[in-house]
Every structure is written in structure tokens, then in C-alpha cells.
Amino acid sequence: MAITLDSPRLCTGVNVPELETFCFANGTACALTCRAPGKNTDNEDALGLIPCGINTGVLVVADGLGGLPAGKQASSTAVRQISHSVVEKCAELPVFREAILDGIEQANQLVMENGVGSGTTIAAVEIKDRTVRPYHVGDSAILITGQRGKIKHQTISHSPVGYAVEAGLIRADDAIHNDERHLVSNIIGTPEMRVEVGPRITLDPLDTLIVATDGLFDNLHIDEIKDIIRTGQLPSAAEHLYQACHERMTQYSETLPHKPDDLGFIIFRPR
């Protein structure tokens, strides 16, 4: 049963392997975040659903860098700071661009001030009356697909491999197996951090939007993700997506993607 959100739902530094379904921004959102299979340390992925009125809100996911100290703290700081900024601005007017950018910049400063060399990626989407706008730093990604499978928007990962795919130097199907795919060239927690702001996109009634960490995109090809999320009831599609990703993480194959990692995603579809 879908839960109506009256306040932000933040999952930071916790393991939530059971799918949650929400009434959100005049649509439906399904969310999940969990540790990598077999991992006993903290989940370094975080996510948030931040409502701002009946038809508006912000979705955000963050992936603390596992190779750096305090990855969980960095991702939690980013999600909480964006939530605080959006809620504060929403009390006046739902000016999401300013709120999201302020939240990311504030999070960047706080993570740097921690002084432990931590970092995190971020992917956020503002939703207002079926119009969405993406924001991201790093390789957490945003994908929008139509019911017939047309990709309406896909972010470019801030990484050498991501840029090589965009330039046509590496095929997307080959990139998912690239040994340097995990290298990220732009993160929250550095003086050089930059935010990429995408275009405003109007969602059609059966379009589906997904915001996710690289735990998803490193284990399933884009076409696989697209085919899973574009049809059927949203909770069923979200559960199918999780199961497919979990299977890839737990069953090694020489030909299929396999990268056990923390996982966090939010899927949204308008009514």
C-alpha cells in the first residue's frame, strides 16, 4: 500500500532491503537501498524523497565513495543538506533550482570540513506538475524512458569512461565491463566540484523516471533497466529491477556484468 508523505523520507546510512511505495508529487514513487550482498560494513548509499506540496517534490540519491573514509557520512550529509535546503525554500516558494544547488554546495563545504578525505556522488530530480529537471555530480545517474522504450533523457557519468562513451570512443555495452569504470572525476567533497544541471522535461502519463547509484548501472545494461521499468505496475517493476540486480551481484558470469556494490534507487511515474 502506498504511503502519503507529509515530510521528507530520508534513508541515510541504513539498510532498507524491502521496497517502499509512496504517493509523491501527484504520482507514485518506489524506493530501496541496501548493502552489497555479503557486506557487513555500513551501507554507503543514501536516498531521500522530499515532498513540497501536492504536485511537487525532489528525489535524491547519493553514493559515498567506498574507497575513501567516511563514505556513509558523506552521502548522508549530502542527502540531509539538500532536504534541509528544499524544505526551507519550499516554505516560501518552490524554487527548486536554487534550493538544490544551495544544498549541494553546502554539502560540499561540510564534507570538505570533515577533514577525512571523504566524498560522495549525488543525483537529484525536481518534479513540478509533471515537469522534471535533473541535477548530478559523479556517476549516480538519472534515466527517463517512455512506455514504448524510448529514452527521453540519460545523464552522462562524470568519469573518463562516461565521457568516452558520450564521445563514441567506447560502446556502452563494452563500458560496463571496463576496469576503469569505477573511477569518478567529479564528486562532492572537493574544491573543484561542479553540478551538471539538465534540461526541463515534461513527463507523459506512462513515462518512468529512475534515479539510482552505480550499484544498479554497473550490474544491468541500460536496455535491461529500460525494459524492466517501463511496463507493468510500478511496485512490480521496482521489485523486478531489484531482483535482477541482486542476481547479477550474487552470480558471477564471464559475459554478464557483475559488480557487488551497495544499491540505492527511486523509481517515479506520474499519474
Ordered by start, the domain boundaries in the chain are: 3-270
In this prediction, residue 162 carries a pLDDT of: 93
Strand boundaries in 157-197, DSSP class E = 196-197
pLDDT recorded at residue 67 = 74
Residue with cell 524544505: 87
Per-residue b or e along 214-233, where b marks 16 or more CB atoms closer than 10 Å to that residue's CB: bbbbbbbebebbbbbbbeee
| CATH number of the structural domain 3-270 | 3.60.40.10
Give the pLDDT confidence score for residue 94 in this predicted structure.
59
Per-10-residue mean pLDDT of the chain, 271 residues long, equals 92 92 96 95 96 92 88 96 93 80 97 92 95 97 95 96 92 89 94 97 96 97 95 96 97 94 97 90
C-alpha distance from residue 65 to each of 61, 120, 125 (Å): 13, 5, 21
Supply the pLDDT for residue 93: 62
| Residue with grid cell 544547488, as numbered in its chain | 101
DSSP string, 78-93: HHHHHHHHHHHHHTT-
